Amino acid sequence: MLQVYNTLSKSKETFTPIEPGKVRMYVCGMTVYDYCHLGHARVMVVFDVITRYLRHRGFDVTYVRNVTDIDDKIIARANENGEPFHALTTRFIEAMHEDSDALGVIPPDIEPKATDSIPEILAMVQTLIDKGHAYVGDNGDVYYDVSTFATYGKLSGKDIADLRAGERIAVNEAKTDPLDFVLWKAAKPGEPSWESPWGAGRPGWHIECSAMSTNELGDHFDIHGGGMDLTFPHHENEIAQSEGATGHPFVNYWLHNGFVRINEEKMSKSLGNFFTVREILARYQAEVVRYFILTSQYRSPLNYDEEHLENAKGALTRFYTALRGLPDAEPVTVGDFEARFDAAMDDDFNTPEALAVLFDLARAVNKAKEEGAADAAGLGALLRKLAGVLGLLQGDPEAYLQGGDAGDGLSADQVEAMIAARNAARAARNWAEADRLRDELAAANIVLEDGAGGTTWRRG
């Protein structure tokens, strides 16, 4: 029985899809004016794992993740660069796909862009005006009238009176209430714009997601996800827009992932304390980064630290070492590994607990290998199968163990040659020479393992 934590109820609930066997899920994706940082990577990997697990459980999942390709920051950045905004966004969408692919993220089934959804956006704004939820301001902007939506605040736990009492709400004369938010922004001279019944302009931030999600998944769908910082105002406003426009419940389960932190502080663009995915991938294999992300339950904070990445690297070394040298086989059904794995994932996608099961399984594999047991390969296959639900351990063990340091290290041929020389010395019982060669390799970050079947090596 899958339990998921629903931000709407602030508790874990049994997951029941609207349509039996099918899951419709929408996740807020990137605003493409810069490279993805680790926080974006977390969203991509977390919801990728959720999608994989739902499929593993037999659900037919339709996964939609949007791209925000028009907004203030995009316009500002394009102006700084002196290029059309479309050139900027095209470039960063491509970069995002590269990062996403590198991290082993299965692409969403549908990836709508805001600029491709203008007709749907205009239609929804018009509906909101027609239903009395929105009004046109003096400056040509269209605003959502928050006071018309009775349950405003239900997702984020805000109280309208509290919000009104807050001092940080920007004053804008065109709004009749400071809490109102913009649906359609009138274009200033020189800005990208689209024609509308209210004049040339562009969509406000929140409306695009309401329009794209309901357009792709219907008025009412199962899961809506994103980073915790989107809970308010973005998702709160999406609810107001969507339910205001359609008159139907919008989303059953709201899932929000926690932040990546650095030095106990949120990693973010505005704080400038971020690492981009490509910076990190230049130094660690992508699977290490993915593993690192999954060492923390998705709602918990994830602290960025070199030491933690090193730890992740070592954990994968352990797994791949267990898988090393095993022939292909059908996964065995012995033991309760799969049941334990599923139970962990059923509990709000508890990946750390699931990984603990995989470690137990890896031990069973090692033991079977050591004892020459017949089911070693089958256990290894089970390990691969379950890890695959997390998007891990799908590679060739040798590629992981001997790869990674693509740069200045010794080539595989050089390493093999030195191992051959060392084994000749060992055969002659010339331990001093053998150890000298091993030390030399160690200095080049090569670890040797003398086994019954010969000497194997890996990069440390």
Partner RNA sequence: GGCCGGGUGGCAGAGUGGUUAUGCAGCGGACUGCAAAUCCGUGGACGUCGGUUCGAUUCCGGCCUCGGCCUCCA
* Site residues (CB under 7 A) for RNA, limited to 129-188: 156-159, 162-163, 166, 168-170, 181
Q: Closest approach of Cβ 404 to RNA, in Å?
A: 16
| Helices vs strands, H then E, count in the chain | 16, 15
Q: Does 362 bind RNA (CB under 7 A)?
A: yes
Place of tokens 């605040």: 153
Beta carbon nearer to RNA, 94 or 305: 305
Please choose, from the candidates 43, 42, 6, the residue with its C-alpha nearest in 3D space to the C-alpha of residue 27. Answer: 43
Q: Which residues contact 50 (CB under 8 A, 6 or more apart)?
A: 25, 223, 225, 255, 298, 349
Q: Does 13 bind RNA (CB under 7 A)?
A: no
Binding segment for RNA (CB under 7 A), chosen from 95-103, 212-220, 318-326, 393-401, is 318-326
Contact 62, 25 (CB under 8 A): yes
Place of tokens 């001279």: 189
Q: Closest approach of Cβ 8 to RNA, in Å?
A: 12
Q: Does 444 bind RNA (CB under 7 A)?
A: no
CA angle 91, 93, 97 (to 5 degrees): 120
Tokens of 192: 């990208």
Beta carbon nearer to RNA, 198 or 349: 349
Beta carbon nearer to RNA, 159 or 330: 159
Contact 257, 46 (CB under 8 A): yes
Q: Does 276 bind RNA (CB under 7 A)?
A: no
Whole-number Cα distances in Å, 76 to 192, 274, 326: 11, 20, 54
**6, 25, 39, 221: residue in contact with RNA (rule CB under 7 A):** 39
Binding letters toward RNA, positions 289-308, x by CB under 7 A: ------xxx-xxxxx-x-xx
Q: Does 78 bind RNA (CB under 7 A)?
A: no
Q: Closest approach of Cβ 427 to RNA, in Å?
A: 10
Report the distance separating Cα 240 and Cα 180, nearest Å: 11
Binding segment for RNA (CB under 7 A), chosen from 113-121, 192-200, 277-285, 430-438, is 430-438
Binding residues for RNA, total number by CB under 7 A: 87
**280, 355, 382, 441: residue in contact with RNA (rule CB under 7 A):** 355
Q: Closest approach of Cβ 328 to RNA, in Å?
A: 21
Site for RNA in 201-260 (CB under 7 A): 205, 226-234, 257-260
Contact 49, 349 (CB under 8 A): yes
Q: Closest approach of Cβ 128 to RNA, in Å?
A: 18
Beta carbon nearer to RNA, 127 or 231: 231
Following DSSP, what letter does each residue of 122-133 receive, concatenated?
HHHHHHHHHTTS
**10, 327, 411, 413: residue in contact with RNA (rule CB under 7 A):** 10
Q: Closest approach of Cβ 309 to RNA, in Å?
A: 10
Beta carbon nearer to RNA, 104 or 226: 226
Q: Which residues contact 429 (CB under 8 A, 6 or more apart)?
A: none
Q: Does 388 bind RNA (CB under 7 A)?
A: no
Q: How many residues are present in the chain?
A: 460
Q: Does 125 bind RNA (CB under 7 A)?
A: no
Contact 256, 135 (CB under 8 A): no
Beta carbon nearer to RNA, 250 or 274: 274
Q: Does 200 bind RNA (CB under 7 A)?
A: no
Q: Does 372 bind RNA (CB under 7 A)?
A: no
Beta carbon nearer to RNA, 186 or 434: 434
Contact 224, 24 (CB under 8 A): no
Q: Which residues contact 200 (CB under 8 A, 6 or more apart)?
A: 186, 187, 193, 194
Q: Does 382 bind RNA (CB under 7 A)?
A: no
The arrangement of strands across the sheet holding 265-266 comes to 265-266, 260-262, 302-304
Beta bridge partners of 260: 302
**58, 272, 451, 453: residue in contact with RNA (rule CB under 7 A):** 451
Contact 280, 255 (CB under 8 A): no
